[in-house]
């Protein structure tokens, strides 16, 4: 009996989804915006003094939905601020000489302060960093607090569509 109710609810939901007009949705509150990877200095060994460049992918938490398009428009400044942080404080490594993600999680608010200074106002609450220069979607990504991220290209496209809808057709 319950299976019939679930199937009926699913069919009704599909009909409503198909009947509703497709509207571009901007990310909501506490959005996670993934920047393109940067090559940042990381220590060569734990407690060492020498560094080497490693690809790191910053992921920013933006608490207010209305700040997301503005943060994406200023993404190069944000990436530069993250790079500036790592030039002053190279990324720590663990015993296996991989970037120590747990140590960087503790610095998320400090890195966000650098980004907010570059953006000119407080729009980012935390900046997480993941080692690697590839798009993230599974594995380590699924276990981190920012499992659902968006790239700035998609956010800006949706924002432009929304503005065109609000302003009306061009003359």
Beta bridge mates, 127: 60
Q: Do the domain assignments include residue 119?
A: yes
| Tens digits of residue pLDDT in 52-106 | 999 999 999 999 988 888 898 899 999 999 999 999 999 999 999 999 999 999 9
Distance CA 98, CA 100 (A): 6
Q: Is residue 135 part of a domain?
A: yes
Question: pLDDT tens digit string along 103-112?
Answer: 999 999 999 9
**Is 128 within a domain?**
yes
Asked if residue 111 is part of any domain, the answer here is: yes
Identify whether 106 is part of a domain: yes
Q: How far apart are CA 40 and CA 131, in angstroms?
A: 10
Q: What is the DSSP-derived secondary structure letter of residue 65? A: G
pLDDT digits (tens, 9 = 90+) for 4-35: 554 555 454 444 444 433 333 445 677 888 88
14 belongs to a structural domain: no
Q: Domain total for the chain?
A: 1
Is there a domain that residue 67 lies in?
yes
| Inside any domain, residue 97 | yes
Residue 154 backbone phi and psi in degrees, to 5: -65, -40
**Which residues, at least 6 apart from 48, have a Cβ–Cβ distance to it below 8 Å?**
none
Domain that holds residue 110: 26-167
Tokens representing 115?
Answer: 């980004």
Rounded Cα gap, residues 113 and 77, in angstroms = 13
Phi, psi angle pair for 77, to nearest 5°: -65, -40
């Amino acid at each position: 009996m319950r299976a019939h109710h679930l199937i009926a609810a699913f069919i009704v939901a599909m009909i409503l989804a198909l009947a509703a007009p497709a509207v571009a949705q901007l990310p909501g509150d506490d959005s996670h915006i993934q920047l393109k990877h940067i090559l940042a200095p990381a220590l060569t060994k734990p407690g060492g003094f020498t560094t080497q460049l490693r690809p790191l992918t910053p992921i920013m938490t933006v608490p207010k939905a209305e700040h997301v398009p503005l943060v994406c428009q200023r993404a190069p400044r944000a990436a530069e601020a993250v790079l500036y942080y790592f030039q002053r404080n190279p990324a720590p490594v663990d015993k296996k000489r991989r970037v120590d993600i747990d140590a960087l999680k503790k610095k998320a608010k400090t890195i966000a302060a650098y980004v907010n200074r570059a953006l000119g106002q407080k729009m980012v609450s935390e900046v997480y960093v993941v080692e690697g220069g590839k798009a993230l979607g599974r594995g380590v990504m699924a276990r981190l607090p920012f499992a659902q991220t968006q790239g700035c290209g998609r956010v800006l496209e949706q924002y432009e569509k929304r503005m065109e809808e609000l302003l009306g057709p061009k003359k």
